[in-house]
Amino acid sequence: MKDPKLAAKFTEEEIELFKLGEVPENYTWHHHQEAGRMQLVDYETHRKTGHTGGYKIWGKDSDK
């Protein structure tokens, strides 16, 4: 990772998974309400948080 502050938030194993194009099991992709914006977030936090759902707003039928 090029950003040392960002890299410090992850373990070496997690960074290696990112390099392989994989997502560590403690994280998930969040569909932000802004069309096309995805955020990598903590899985448990995401699961417990209520959503309107960015995917529902701009999902498969969106122009993005």
Q: Does 16 reside within a domain?
A: no
Q: Does 12 reside within a domain?
A: no
Provide the residue range defining the domain that includes 52: 25-64
Q: For 27, which DSSP code?
A: E
Measured in residues, the chain has a length of: 64
Q: Does 7 reside within a domain?
A: no
What is this structure's pTM?
0.68
- Residue range 4-45, pLDDT digits in tens: 998 899 999 999 999 999 999 999 998 888 888 889 999 999
Q: Does 15 reside within a domain?
A: no
Q: Does 31 reside within a domain?
A: yes
Number of domains within the chain: 1
Q: Does 48 reside within a domain?
A: yes
- Residue range 34-53, pLDDT digits in tens: 888 889 999 999 999 877 76
Q: Does 14 reside within a domain?
A: no
Categorize the per-residue pLDDT at 62 as very low, low, confident or very high, splitting at 50, 70 and 90: low
How far from 14 is each of 6, 26, 32, 49, CA to CA, in Å? 12, 9, 22, 23
Q: Does 36 reside within a domain?
A: yes
